[in-house]
C-alpha cells in the first residue's frame, strides 16, 4: 500500500547571519524566525511524512509551547518523525520539495541540501528532489519578508508481505 503526504511551512525572515535550510546553513544576511531553528524545508518534510502515515503533525510532536523545543534542531525533529513512521511499518519512497524564496539562489546549494536530507532520513540521495521558485518580487516572499517550503512524500508499507 502506498500513501502520499503533503507538508507546508512558512517563516518570517529577519536580519541575521545565515539561513538554515534543509539542514545546512546558507550564507545570507537574513534568517528565518521561529521557535526552533526555523528550517522551513525540514519542517515541511516532517509534516509530509507524518501526514502520509496519519501520525499527526510537527506541532503535535514538537509544540512551540514546550520550552524544550526552543531553538531545537529541525534535523532531530525530522529523524524522530522518521523513526515514528518506520515503527508504524512505513518506509519512504521519495520526496519532491519546493522552496519559495526570492533570495538566496538555491541551485548552488541543492546538492548539499539533498545529501543532508538523504542522510537524515537514511535514504538514497535519488529519493530526494528539490527545486526553488522566487516570488518574482511580489508578496511577502518576493519582498523577502518570508520564506516557504512545500513537500510531497510518497511512503509504502514495509516490510512488504505477500499473500500466497
Q: Quote the pLDDT of residue 160.
A: 61
Q: Is the pLDDT of residue 164 over 60?
A: no
Q: Averaged over 117-146, what is the pLDDT?
A: 97
Examine residue 39 and state whether it is found in any structural domain, yes or no.
yes
Whether residue 35 contacts residue 69, with contact meaning beta carbons closer than 8 Å, is answered with: yes
Domain limits for position 117: 2-157
Q: Is the pLDDT of residue 99 over 60?
A: yes
Q: Averaged over 134-151, what is the pLDDT?
A: 96
pTM: 0.94
For the stretch 36-54, pLDDT in tens is 899 999 999 999 999 999 9
Rg of the chain over CA atoms, in angstroms? 16
The CA distance from 159 to 89, in Å, is 7
Whether residue 123 contacts residue 92, with contact meaning beta carbons closer than 8 Å, is answered with: yes
Examine residue 99 and state whether it is found in any structural domain, yes or no.
yes
Q: How many CB atoms lie within 10 A of CB 35?
A: 16
Q: Is the pLDDT of residue 30 over 90?
A: yes
Examine residue 137 and state whether it is found in any structural domain, yes or no.
yes
Residue 60 maps to which CATH number? Answer: 3.30.1330.50
Q: Is 142 helix (H, G, I), strand (E, B) or coil?
A: helix
Question: Residue 153 pairs with which residues in a beta bridge?
Answer: 5, 95
Q: How confident is the model at residue 63 (pLDDT cuts 50, 70, 90)?
A: confident
Q: How confident is the model at residue 24 (pLDDT cuts 50, 70, 90)?
A: very high
Helix axes 74-87, 110-121, angle to 10 degrees: 40
Examine residue 93 and state whether it is found in any structural domain, yes or no.
yes
| Average pLDDT in the chain | 94
Examine residue 109 and state whether it is found in any structural domain, yes or no.
yes
Examine residue 162 and state whether it is found in any structural domain, yes or no.
no
Examine residue 164 and state whether it is found in any structural domain, yes or no.
no
Whether residue 7 contacts residue 150, with contact meaning beta carbons closer than 8 Å, is answered with: yes
Q: Is the pLDDT of residue 162 over 70?
A: no
Examine residue 163 and state whether it is found in any structural domain, yes or no.
no
The CA distance from 81 to 87, in Å, is 10
Domain count for the chain, please give it.
1
Q: Averaged over 133-139, what is the pLDDT?
A: 94
The CA distance from 39 to 32, in Å, is 7
Q: Is the pLDDT of residue 158 over 60?
A: yes
Amino acid at each position: 500500500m502506498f500513501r502520499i503526504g503533503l507538508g507546508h511551512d512558512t517563516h518570517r525572515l529577519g536580519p541575521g547571519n545565515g539561513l538554515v535550510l534543509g539542514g545546512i546553513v546558507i550564507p545570507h544576511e537574513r534568517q528565518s524566525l521561529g521557535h526552533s531553528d526555523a528550517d522551513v524545508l525540514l519542517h515541511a518534510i516532517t509534516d509530509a511524512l507524518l501526514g502520509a502515515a496519519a501520525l499527526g503533525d510537527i506541532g503535535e510532536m514538537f509544540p512551540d509551547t514546550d520550552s524544550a523545543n526552543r531553538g531545537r534542531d529541525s534535523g532531530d525533529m525530522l529523524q524522530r518523525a522518521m523513526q515514528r513512521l518506520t515503527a508504524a511499518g512505513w518506509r519512504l519512497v521519495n520526496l519532491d520539495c519546493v522552496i519559495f524564496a526570492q533570495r538566496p539562489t538555491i541551485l548552488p546549494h541543492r546538492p548539499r541540501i539533498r545529501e543532508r536530507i538523504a542522510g537524515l532520513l537514511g535514504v538514497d540521495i535519488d529519493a530526494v528532489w528539490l527545486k526553488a521558485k522566487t516570488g518574482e518580487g511580489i508578496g511577502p516572499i518576493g519582498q523577502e519578508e518570508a520564506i516557504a517550503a512545500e513537500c510531497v512524500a510518497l511512503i509504502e508499507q514495509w516490510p512488504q508481505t505477500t499473500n500466497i
